[in-house]
Chains A and B, each alone.
Chain A
Amino acid sequence: MVKVYLDHSATTPMHEEVLKAMNPYFVDRFGNPSSIYLLGQEARQAVEHARSQVADLINCSAGEIIFTAGGTEADNHALIGYALANKDKGRHIIVSSIEHHAVLETAEFLAKQGFDLTLLPVDNQGTVHPDYLKEAMRPDTILVSIMHGNNEVGTIQPIQELAEIAHQGGAVFHTDAVQTVGKIPVDVKDLNVDMLSLSGHKIYGPKGIGSLYVRKGTRVASFMHGGGQERRRRAGTENVPGIVGLGCAAEIARQEMAQEAKRLQHLAEKLIKGILQSIPDTYLTGHPHNRIPGHVSVCFKYVEGESILLMLDHMGVMASSGSACTSGSLEPSHVLLAMGYPHEIAHGSLRLTLGKSNTEEQVDYVLEVLPPIIERLRAMSPLMK
């Protein structure tokens, strides 16, 4: 049966080279990087090599990288760590209303601990306008967190301008770049961000590993306590194979990114054009051009997302949706609602995210099987008059 994986924003298969790089660190070179004998020091070297590979990908120095157990931990670390270490300066935090839950719920947690939280609105293409941030800044604002690329609708935010406004107001700027690192150039100096989260498994690396970039001189409280690892910021024996895998994935991404982005952009444009042409009452969600390469997100009127996913799965196509049934709550995607889509349209969302394994033939196949699925579900829908 045909298998078309179109959910690369959820996770990616690990690159063969990454697996090869990781393999020795499970059994042969199993040492603890904190041990002083050779076996331990080999592991230490591997960890530090990976740290510079990750640093090279985002143009920072190796000492500014903290390894974490993934993007979610990096987001938690950035927000909680910064807020706790700087609460004497102020208690106001600003995040956008379309953040990943790793940022949104962490910010809400801080609000429960006595911090003031402002959620920034977005326009109907999912962009946070610099003016929105300007208006929300207060003298006691200490931290602004706005994601680089949105996971659901693919919109890329004007991070440079937003960071500039945060800095002018005396706040630091964090960005969740889990969806953009390895897909478009992400340069922390260029973006002028103080903290940045990234994840291994979104860039053909292993799951359970990620990084937080913390600009030198930025005060962040330790996230894990109980050891001196990661310069006392994140205690616990390092996940050596995971770290090695992330480093290798970062290096491959750095080399292949430019060419792969071009290819994915072409495929995504073809997919978007084909869907909009063949299926009426369909909306492209997110910014029409300023979006993550390979990211396709649409809403079909009159039908519900989970039903689309199951019928696509039946045809071998794996995708995702922001409908209530797939979000695990009774509400559809908070991102689409923040963008102003009514509930009934947000329920009919479909996200197709392309990656390395996808070909032009697969795009043609999706364009062949998707329209009859929507037609079939619409024939069953009482909303379709």
Chain B
Amino acid sequence: MYSAKVMDHFMNPRNVGEIEHADGIGEVGNPVCGDIMHIEIKVQDNVIDDIKFKTFGCAAAIATSSMVTEMVKGKTLEEAEKVTNRLVAEALDGLPPQKMHCSNLAADALHQAIQDYLSKSRSAE
């Protein structure tokens, strides 16, 4: 059902946890549908210096969260904003069709975290 890459990211998720004094926080999903993705970022000179996630959900939800953190760590905010849910799924060698909807929201959580950082830094100026 799942690709080897999905299983790898599910069994050995990268960047799990929280960041102390995170610069941006994003959270999507809700407990009713069974998936919540929470992403925190640390930004240094417009670059995602550190990123951590916590996810409640199925293997696809955990694997996409893990994958998105790996894809954008060390990238500029502009590069990170170009990462879409579809690109995350592709990087995992695909997801089963029924998982494309609710379990594939990790990029949305990332974009929310970036927006959160941008609005905070704007109000700080």
Contact = CB atoms under 8 A, between A and B. Distances in A.
Contacts of B16: 379-380
A247 B84 CA distance: 57
Contacts, number: 66
B58 A323 contact: yes
A372 B98 CA distance: 29
B32 A382 contact: no
A382 B39 CA distance: 10
Interface stretch (A36-44, A226-234, A288-296, A303-311): A303-311
Contact of B32 (A310, A343, A383): A343
A10 to B, nearest CB: 16
B62 to A, nearest CB: 6
A330 interface: yes
A200 interface: no
Interface size on B, as a range, is: 20 to 34
Contacts of A311: 11
Nearest to A346: B34
A127 B58 CA distance: 30
B56 A383 contact: yes
A328 B7 CA distance: 19
B27 interface: yes
A269 interface: no
A137 to B, nearest CB: 34
B59 interface: yes
B62 A324 contact: no
A351 interface: no
A238 to B, nearest CB: 36
A314 interface: yes
A302 B38 CA distance: 14
B56 A381 contact: yes
Given A343-B32, A382-B27, A383-B31, A304 B11 contact: no
B55 A381 contact: yes
A77 interface: no
Interface in B1-29: 7, 10-11, 13, 16, 27
B74 interface: no
A136 B64 CA distance: 47
A305 B10 CA distance: 14
A347 interface: yes
B10 A310 contact: yes
Contacts of A302: 56
Interface string B51-82: 00011111111100000000000000000000
Nearest to B98: A328
A332 interface: yes
A343 B31 contact: yes
Nearest to A310: B59
Interface string A366-385: 00000000000001111100
A191 interface: no
B124 interface: no
B103 interface: yes
B64 to A, nearest CB: 13
Contacts of B36: 382-383
A324 B55 contact: no
B100 interface: no
A328 B1 CA distance: 13
Contact of B58 (A307, A343, A383): A307
A231 to B, nearest CB: 43
Contact of A306 (B33, B54, B59): B59
B47 interface: no
A304 B98 contact: no
B56 A324 contact: no
A304 B56 contact: yes
Residue of B33, B56, B103 with most chain A CB atoms under a 10 A cut-off: B56
6 shortest A-B CB distances, which residue pairs? A344-B31, A382-B38, A306-B58, A325-B58, A382-B54, A347-B34
Interface of B: 7, 10-11, 13, 16, 27, 31-38, 54-62, 98-99, 102-103
26 contacts: A306-B58, A307-B10, A307-B57, A307-B58, A310-B7, A310-B59, A311-B11, A324-B33, A324-B34, A325-B60, A325-B99, A328-B98, A342-B31, A343-B31, A343-B33, A347-B31, A347-B34, A380-B54, A380-B55, A380-B56, A381-B56, A382-B37, A382-B54, A382-B56, A383-B31, A383-B56
Interface of A: 302-307, 310-311, 314, 323-325, 328, 330, 332, 342-344, 347, 379-383
